[in-house]
């Protein structure tokens, strides 16, 4: 962990010290720098960024050196790999091609490049080490646990199990040179050495289907160990592992058993010897610590009177503790965790505290947030403070909890009575804006409470602001909703008794999110979750990891597997995900074809165009056939779309001609059957003429060319006239609506949808006090049974549209990872200005434009070693100035496309003015 910190310091330092006109390298990354201590990819990918004040800089060659020690690398003794000078402009995802690496090997590397504007020195030295690569290398490390309930524990609909406090004293009789610990702690763990918590994570590790794969975390703990006695301590919480509603619906919900752990501590001594400490039956534990219960849905109960002073440090007498026993392995293969753990990523201070008639207090955090509440309290030993969480209030001012179903969402803190006590939970989280706190015999101060915002430790990479305040608030709501629903996997919602990684919620959502968060490793992990949940015959579930065993065999939900992989390729140039998952995707496509293709149409759908605005404001699911789109229409069109993407993947990985021709033939057949059955050539509409039924074939290129305009006009009529400029789609149609309108010339109508404040719209949510995105368009009035106030699926392609169509920041599909940027804002849609930025894997992209009737100014930044196609809203070059030079006199190359000039610009910052 420390190493990672150091790393970031180096990185920031080199950013701020770049001298004018020098070309330097920074941000050296191995597999995205998640945890360079534990890489279990045999051929890691290396990336770097070029920083310089010079413009129009392109890399022409690189040379990478990798050595087994820093000393060797310093003297250019690249005993692992010398790439030689390679003529290439690749600066991201360069695959290590040196000597075969073994488990726990260390690798130090640096890179030097030449560019069209000069050479660099060798970069700073960066580092990674390999994780434990084979099952055999976990050898005699034992999984330990204790398969038994203790007093106070219960297995029921509301299961309870106290956290387990584990300790092991070790005696080291030499000076430690280096030490690394590898830990698997299920469901959740915290690790301590000599009383100090290791790492700044919470709720670790990321959840998986533990019967399929189990994530281990790695930490450098050199500075925590000392010669003499040391104590390793862990606390195990339940997370998704132990009976969380499993007893309630055992047929549906997976259970993994009692918490358990396995740990290896590798120590190298200064005298050259080494030792490995491993979990075994000599480790001791107590179930009698202060965390009496921890259940993700129901909350945490903490009895401070039961705190055990010094339990994780030397000098504690553990004589009365029990010995852990050898327990069965969870079953899953151990893997290095390549996506970050969760962390407290921010704090929220309540904006008000109000007394209720019953003597409790209601806190308003001012924001629907995900995490927990930290409190400061005084009282007598045994006093109990209770916190209950909700997203909104009822009219009488009390908590609205009807939409949480049976989640109890209640934390309890029992005081030890020793002056001021500060507490926050460890193994649960809540989704909430309001908290009712009770049990006080005095009026607590508002400053006694802090909301902790908890989600995956990932960087915010995008910003967006524009001239429309409603759109800005929607953006903010999306930002809060997305980050709250990252929990080591993308979940549907953070508050009710669900919190499941539903595939269909992120099919396109993941793409929009990628403009705001560095979500690459999270989604790469999720694709693995999906892969691991695939059945032998090829089916994939609706929820992955399949904590809920739903194998509904739809296309629109399951299609997320392929769409998210495409997003990772497009946004992050991640070819590996295509290579790794292609066989499984192909298998699923074939499975669907074999089982559900009838008369060249896909006859299987489970959820329909989920959550369309219904006929009455109180209901969840519409029964009105004019609002619903036939399942065969949805799944056939979507399957056609997926075939196109599979074809693209097949080209990327050089799959056989057979694959490609199969995708071609089948998609042709589906298109024909689809148009034959559903296209009405006199009304130019599909099926029952819902917007969704029309937008899918338009977006996927299924409409015969000569009818495209007419079908589009018909759909526009539906949106503009029939629905009076409002959305009428559910989760499926909304993924394509904004871009399809804009790319066919009606950006103004898309803008109307985005800026609307009346029902149904995103702005309607804002008008009604939403600070996140709702599950339902009618989320303020609908039945509470399925009505989360923090779901992100209705965002559809809205965020993609913000960035690609309004800001003009889009990766050219032919040059993934923003190697070439398409900057083509729709200036006519209705906005007066946009100011957006996106930190791509190649560097920071900026687009800031402002216009009035006579003038447009546009400032753009294009990262080093990339280029941009910049579309100007005029065909008249003499009106354009770039960095003060008139375009017609400058040496820039440009071409004209329809009524626009298109410039190809290399890296740098440009100020464009059009009069």
**Whose Cβ is closer to ligand BGC: residue 244's or residue 324's?**
244
Maximum alpha-carbon separation in the chain = 88
As measured in angstroms, the least distance from the Cβ of 628 to ligand BGC is 14
722 CB neighbour count, 10 Å cutoff: 11
Strands (E), 53-187: 59-67, 81-82, 86-87, 94-95, 106-115, 118-119, 126-129, 144-145, 164-172, 176-186
As measured in angstroms, the least distance from the Cβ of 503 to ligand BGC is 8
Report the residue from 607, 684, 712, 803 that binds ligand BGC according to the rule CB under 6 A: 607
Report how far residue 677's alpha carbon sits from residue 715's, in angstroms, rounded to the nearest whole number. 18
As measured in angstroms, the least distance from the Cβ of 797 to ligand BGC is 17
Report how far residue 607's alpha carbon sits from residue 631's, in angstroms, rounded to the nearest whole number. 8
Structure tokens at 100: 């075969």
As measured in angstroms, the least distance from the Cβ of 730 to ligand BGC is 11
As measured in angstroms, the least distance from the Cβ of 609 to ligand BGC is 12
Structure tokens at 634: 């949805």
Tell me the H-state helices in 156-222: none
Strands (E), 144-187: 144-145, 164-172, 176-186
Q: According to the binding rule CB under 6 A, does residue 638 interact with ligand BGC? A: no
- The interface with ligand BGC within residues 67-96 (CB under 6 A) comprises none
Residue in the block written with tokens 């260390």: 106
**Whose Cβ is closer to ligand BGC: residue 285's or residue 548's?**
548
The DSSP output letter for 100 is P
Using DSSP's 3-state secondary structure scheme, residue 667 falls into helix
In degrees, rounded to 5, the angle at the alpha carbon of residue 405 between the alpha carbons of residues 404 and 406 is 110
- The interface with ligand BGC within residues 155-184 (CB under 6 A) comprises none
Taking CB under 6 A as the binding criterion, the range among 205-213, 287-295, 668-676, 785-793 that sits at the site for ligand BGC is: 785-793
**Whose Cβ is closer to ligand BGC: residue 312's or residue 497's?**
497
Taking CB under 6 A as the binding criterion, the range among 499-507, 531-539, 583-591, 720-728 that sits at the site for ligand BGC is: 499-507
Distance linking the first and last C-alpha atoms of the chain: 53
Report how far residue 579's alpha carbon sits from residue 852's, in angstroms, rounded to the nearest whole number. 48
**Whose Cβ is closer to ligand BGC: residue 426's or residue 791's?**
791
**Whose Cβ is closer to ligand BGC: residue 128's or residue 523's?**
523
**CA distance to 522, 583, 743, 798, 861, per residue, from 825 (Å):** 29, 37, 11, 14, 15
> Which residues 6+ apart lie within 8 Å of 709 measured at CB?
none
Q: According to the binding rule CB under 6 A, does residue 192 interact with ligand BGC? A: no
**Whose Cβ is closer to ligand BGC: residue 774's or residue 871's?**
774
Residue 805 in contact with residue 826, Cβ under 8 Å? yes
Using DSSP's 3-state secondary structure scheme, residue 531 falls into helix
Tell me the H-state helices in 838-913: none
Report the residue from 298, 335, 448, 492 that binds ligand BGC according to the rule CB under 6 A: 492
Tell me the torsion sign for CA atoms 606, 609, 614, 617. Answer: positive
42 CB neighbour count, 10 Å cutoff: 11
As measured in angstroms, the least distance from the Cβ of 502 to ligand BGC is 4
As measured in angstroms, the least distance from the Cβ of 492 to ligand BGC is 4
As measured in angstroms, the least distance from the Cβ of 185 to ligand BGC is 29
As measured in angstroms, the least distance from the Cβ of 667 to ligand BGC is 26
Q: According to the binding rule CB under 6 A, does residue 297 interact with ligand BGC? A: no
**CA distance to 541, 553, 636, per residue, from 633 (Å):** 21, 15, 5
Taking CB under 6 A as the binding criterion, the range among 260-268, 430-438, 498-506, 816-824 that sits at the site for ligand BGC is: 498-506
As measured in angstroms, the least distance from the Cβ of 789 to ligand BGC is 12
**Whose Cβ is closer to ligand BGC: residue 388's or residue 496's?**
496
Q: According to the binding rule CB under 6 A, does residue 774 interact with ligand BGC? A: no
User: What are the backbone dihedrals phi and psi of residue 63, each rounded to the nearest 5 degrees, phi first?
Assistant: -140, 130
- The interface with ligand BGC within residues 338-367 (CB under 6 A) comprises none
- The interface with ligand BGC within residues 863-882 (CB under 6 A) comprises none
Say how many residues touch ligand BGC, by CB under 6 A: 11
Using DSSP's 3-state secondary structure scheme, residue 837 falls into strand
Report how far residue 481's alpha carbon sits from residue 476's, in angstroms, rounded to the nearest whole number. 9
Q: According to the binding rule CB under 6 A, does residue 529 interact with ligand BGC? A: no
Q: Transcribe 693-715 into DSSP letters.
A: HHHHHHHHT-S-GGGHHHHHHHH
- The interface with ligand BGC within residues 418-457 (CB under 6 A) comprises none
Taking CB under 6 A as the binding criterion, the range among 102-110, 133-141, 447-455, 490-498 that sits at the site for ligand BGC is: 490-498
Helix (H) or strand (E) holding 8: helix 2-16
Residue 911 in contact with residue 859, Cβ under 8 Å? yes
Residue 878 in contact with residue 832, Cβ under 8 Å? no
Report the residue from 498, 529, 605, 720 that binds ligand BGC according to the rule CB under 6 A: 498
**Whose Cβ is closer to ligand BGC: residue 610's or residue 838's?**
610
Taking CB under 6 A as the binding criterion, the range among 280-288, 452-460, 491-499, 817-825 that sits at the site for ligand BGC is: 491-499
Structure tokens at 660: 């490609």
Taking CB under 6 A as the binding criterion, the range among 424-432, 471-479, 501-509, 636-644 that sits at the site for ligand BGC is: 501-509
As measured in angstroms, the least distance from the Cβ of 557 to ligand BGC is 7
**Whose Cβ is closer to ligand BGC: residue 582's or residue 610's?**
610
As measured in angstroms, the least distance from the Cβ of 556 to ligand BGC is 10
**Whose Cβ is closer to ligand BGC: residue 183's or residue 244's?**
244
> Which residues 6+ apart lie within 8 Å of 405 measured at CB?
496, 497, 498, 785
As measured in angstroms, the least distance from the Cβ of 611 to ligand BGC is 8
* Site map (CB under 6 A) of ligand BGC, residues 610-629, x = contact: x-------------------
**Whose Cβ is closer to ligand BGC: residue 83's or residue 485's?**
485
Residue in the block written with tokens 């006093």: 383
Report the residue from 371, 504, 559, 825 that binds ligand BGC according to the rule CB under 6 A: 504
**Whose Cβ is closer to ligand BGC: residue 488's or residue 504's?**
504
Q: According to the binding rule CB under 6 A, does residue 649 interact with ligand BGC? A: no
**Whose Cβ is closer to ligand BGC: residue 360's or residue 787's?**
787
Report how far residue 63's alpha carbon sits from residue 32's, in angstroms, rounded to the nearest whole number. 19
Report the residue from 190, 220, 298, 505 that binds ligand BGC according to the rule CB under 6 A: 505
Q: According to the binding rule CB under 6 A, does residue 860 interact with ligand BGC? A: no
Structure tokens at 886: 């008139």
- Do the strands 384-390 and 342-348 form a parallel or antiparallel pair, or are they unpaired? unpaired
Taking CB under 6 A as the binding criterion, the range among 372-380, 502-510, 592-600, 832-840 that sits at the site for ligand BGC is: 502-510
As measured in angstroms, the least distance from the Cβ of 56 to ligand BGC is 47
Residue in the block written with tokens 């040196």: 98
**Whose Cβ is closer to ligand BGC: residue 332's or residue 554's?**
554
As measured in angstroms, the least distance from the Cβ of 791 to ligand BGC is 6
Report the residue from 502, 532, 596, 871 that binds ligand BGC according to the rule CB under 6 A: 502
Taking CB under 6 A as the binding criterion, the range among 108-116, 580-588, 786-794, 812-820 that sits at the site for ligand BGC is: 786-794
Residue in the block written with tokens 């009712």: 436
Total residue count of the chain as it appears in this document: 915
583 CB neighbour count, 10 Å cutoff: 12
Q: According to the binding rule CB under 6 A, does residue 796 interact with ligand BGC? A: no
User: What are the backbone dihedrals phi and psi of residue 760, each rounded to the nearest 5 degrees, phi first?
Assistant: -90, 135
Q: According to the binding rule CB under 6 A, does residue 793 interact with ligand BGC? A: yes
* Binding-site ranges for ligand BGC (CB under 6 A): 492-493, 498, 502, 504-505, 607, 610, 786, 791, 793
């Amino acid at each position: 962990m420390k190493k990672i910190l150091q790393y970031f310091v180096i990185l920031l330092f080199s950013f701020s010290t770049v001298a004018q006109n020098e070309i330097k390298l920074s941000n050296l990354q191995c597999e995205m720098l998640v945890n360079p201590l534990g890489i279990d990819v045999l051929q890691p990918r290396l990336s770097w960024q070029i920083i310089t004040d010079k413009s129009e800089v392109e890399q022409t060659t690189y040379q990478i050196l990798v050595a087994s020690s820093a000393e060797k690398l310093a003297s250019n003794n690249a005993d692992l790999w010398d790439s030689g000078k390679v003529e290439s402009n690749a600066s991201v995802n360069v695959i290590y091609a040196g000597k075969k690496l073994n488990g726990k090997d260390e690798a130090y590397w640096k890179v030097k490049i030449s560019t069209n504007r000069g050479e660099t020195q060798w970069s700073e030295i960066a580092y990674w080490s390999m994780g434990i690569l084979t099952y055999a290398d976990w050898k005699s490390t034992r999984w330990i646990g204790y398969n038994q309930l203790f007093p106070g524990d219960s297995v029921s609909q509301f299961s309870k199990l106290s956290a387990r406090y584990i300790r092991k004293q070790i005696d080291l009789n030499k000076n430690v040179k280096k030490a690394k610990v590898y830990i698997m702690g299920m469901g959740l763990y915290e690790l301590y050495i000599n009383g100090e918590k290791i790492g700044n994570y919470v709720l670790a590790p990321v959840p998986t289907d533990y019967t399929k794969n189990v994530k281990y975390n790695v930490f450098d703990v050199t500075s925590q160990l000392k010669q003499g006695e040391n104590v390793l301590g862990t606390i195990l919480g339940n997370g998704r592992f132990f009976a969380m509603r499993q007893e309630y619906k055992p047929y549906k919900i997976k259970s993994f058993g009692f918490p358990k752990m396995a740990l290896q501590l590798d120590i190298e001594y200064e005298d050259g010897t080494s030792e490995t400490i491993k979990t075994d039956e000599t480790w001791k534990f107590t179930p009698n610590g202060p965390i009496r219960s921890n259940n993700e849905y129901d909350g945490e109960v903490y009895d401070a009177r039961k705190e055990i002073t010094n339990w994780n440090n030397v000098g504690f007498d553990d004589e009365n503790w029990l010995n852990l026993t050898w327990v069965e392995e969870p079953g899953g293969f151990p893997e290095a965790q390549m996506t970050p753990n969760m962390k407290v990523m921010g704090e929220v201070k309540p904006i008000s505290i109000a007394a209720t008639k019953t003597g409790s207090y209601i806190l308003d955090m001012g924001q629907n947030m995900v995490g927990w509440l930290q409190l400061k309290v005084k009282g007598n030993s045994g006093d109990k403070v209770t916190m209950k969480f909700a997203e909104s209030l009822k009219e009488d001012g009390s908590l609205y909890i009807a939409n949480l179903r049976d989640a109890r969402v209640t934390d309890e803190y029992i005081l030890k009575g020793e002056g001021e006590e500060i507490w926050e939970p460890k193994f649960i989280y809540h989704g909430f804006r309001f908290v009712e706190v009770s049990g006080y015999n005095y009026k607590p101060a508002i400053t006694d409470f802090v909301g902790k915002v908890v989600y995956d430790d990932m960087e915010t990479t995008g910003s967006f602001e524009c001239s429309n305040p409603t759109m800005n608030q929607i953006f903010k709501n999306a930002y809060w909703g997305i980050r709250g629903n990252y929990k080591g996997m993308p979940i549907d919602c953070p508050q009710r008794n669900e919190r499941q990684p539903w595939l269909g919620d992120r099919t396109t959502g993941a793409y929009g999110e990628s403009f705001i968060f560095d979500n690459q490793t999270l989604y790469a992990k999720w694709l693995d979750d999906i892969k691991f949940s695939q059945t032998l015959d090829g089916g994939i579930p609706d929820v992955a990891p399949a904590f809920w065993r739903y194998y509904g065999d739809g296309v629109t939900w399951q299609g997320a597997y392929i769409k998210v992989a495409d997003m990772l390729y497009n946004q992050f140039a991640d070819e590996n995900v295509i290579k790794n998952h292609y066989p499984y995707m192909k298998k699923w496509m074939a499975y669907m074809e074999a089982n559900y293709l009838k008369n060249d149409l896909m006859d299987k759908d489970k959820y329909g165009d989920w959550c369309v605005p219904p006929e009455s404001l109180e209901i969840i699911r519409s029964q009105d056939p004019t609002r619903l789109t036939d399942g065969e229409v949805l799944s056939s069109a979507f399957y056609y779309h997926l075939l196109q993407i599979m074809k693209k993947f097949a080209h990327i990985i050089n799959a056989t001609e057979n694959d490609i021709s199969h995708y071609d033939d089948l998609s042709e057949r589906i298109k024909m059957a689809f148009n034959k059955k559903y296209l009405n050539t006199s009304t130019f509409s599909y099926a029952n003429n819902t917007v969704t039924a029309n937008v899918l074939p338009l977006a996927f290129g299924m409409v015969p060319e000569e009818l495209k305009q007419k079908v589009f006009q018909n759909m526009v009529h539906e949106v503009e006239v029939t629905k009076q400029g409002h959305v009428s789609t559910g989760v499926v149609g909304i993924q394509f609506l904004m871009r399809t309108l804009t790319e066919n010339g009606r950006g103004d109508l898309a803008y109307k949808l985005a800026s609307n404040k009346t029902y149904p719209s995103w702005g309607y949510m804002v008008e009604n006090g939403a600070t996140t995105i709702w599950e339902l368009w009618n989320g303020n009035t609908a039945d509470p049974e399925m009505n989360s106030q923090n779901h992100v699926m209705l965002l559809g392609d809205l965020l993609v549209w913000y960035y690609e169509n309004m800001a003009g920041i889009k990766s050219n599909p032919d040059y993934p990872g923003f190697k070439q940027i398409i900057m083509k804002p729709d200036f006519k849609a209705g906005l007066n200005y946009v100011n957006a930025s996106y930190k791509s894997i190649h560097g920071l992209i900026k687009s800031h434009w402002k216009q009035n009737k006579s003038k447009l100014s546009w400032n753009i930044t294009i990262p080093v070693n990339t280029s941009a196609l910049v579309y100007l809203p005029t065909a008249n070059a003499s009106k354009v100035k770039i960095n003060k030079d008139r375009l017609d006199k400058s040496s820039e190359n440009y071409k004209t496309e329809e009524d626009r000039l298109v410039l190809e610009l290399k890296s740098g910052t440009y100020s464009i003015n059009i009069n």
